Amino acid sequence: MTSSSPIAIIDSGLGGLTVARAIRMALPAESIIYFGDTARLPYGTKTAGTVSRFVSQIIEYLRRFDPKHVVIACNTATALSLPVLRERFPDLPISGVIDPGSKAAVIAAGRKVTPVIGVIATEATVKSQAYERAIHSRRRHARLIMRPAPLLVPIIEEGRRPQDPLVQLALRQYIEPLMKRGLDVLVLGCTHYPILKDQIIELVGPAVAVIDSAEQCADDVARRLAEANMVRGEEEGSGEMKCFVTDDPGKFAKLATRFLGVPVKQPHWVPADELYEPTGTIDEIET
């Protein structure tokens, strides 16, 4: 790998595109390979072993592109599989979204003796206790309130707009109970949720710091690449982005614009069966 090698971003579907968008803003010269495992989502209802196997298969598939860094742009996959992935692929720099978001939450909590930090996430992320470990390793006396928000991902992937009454009702259902417990910081513990960040900020009010895990992840990737002297030079121009999905590329392309803020090319379809025994060359993929 070299500084011109791409950054690989992996997610169960569309949510990781918020990470891709943040990375493109922070590092516009970088090329990105995005892989959405749309045939096997959601990851949030699956076991750690299953998620680790799925993501390992995707990494094996993407190795043909010689990525210089792999981002697990899914809170569930980060929580359930990151240590396993780093052990299995010791030659690849791999990072996730939970540690950067947790660090930012602790900073945002300020000097309050016992800050109340809320996290909304998938069922699997909540059960993993990954946020508790990451936050309490930095702030022992923080009071954490974990809240699964299972309706938000399907609502967002349906393409419903933030002003939709169903969206507003779901946000109030999940967030208002946290507000009643004296919330100081709210972590958006799923990369889909930044799509609704403006509405969430409006709901919690100015006294509560809202942490966007996608933005924090992008800052973390920029720092890691700089430390490794692997940042692509701006003189090389703006980097390109290629997307891969395991199902329904048409739907992905239609909804991806909302996550990225710009139109995307039709993604390449990778049948899930192909991930079990990766075949093909880069030339075959690009044609």
Instruction: Give the integer Cα–Cα distance in Å for 57 and 209.
Output: 37
Instruction: Give the integer Cα–Cα distance in Å for 261 and 275.
Output: 29
- Buried-exposed string 10-29: b where 16+ CB fall within 10 A, e elsewhere: bbbbbbbbbbbbbbbebbeb
Question: What percent of the chain is helix, strand and coil (3-state, nearest 5)?
Answer: 50, 15, 35
Instruction: Give the integer Cα–Cα distance in Å for 23 and 16.
Output: 11
Active-site residue set: 74, 190
Length of the chain: 287
Q: What are phi and psi of 70, to 5 degrees?
A: -115, 125
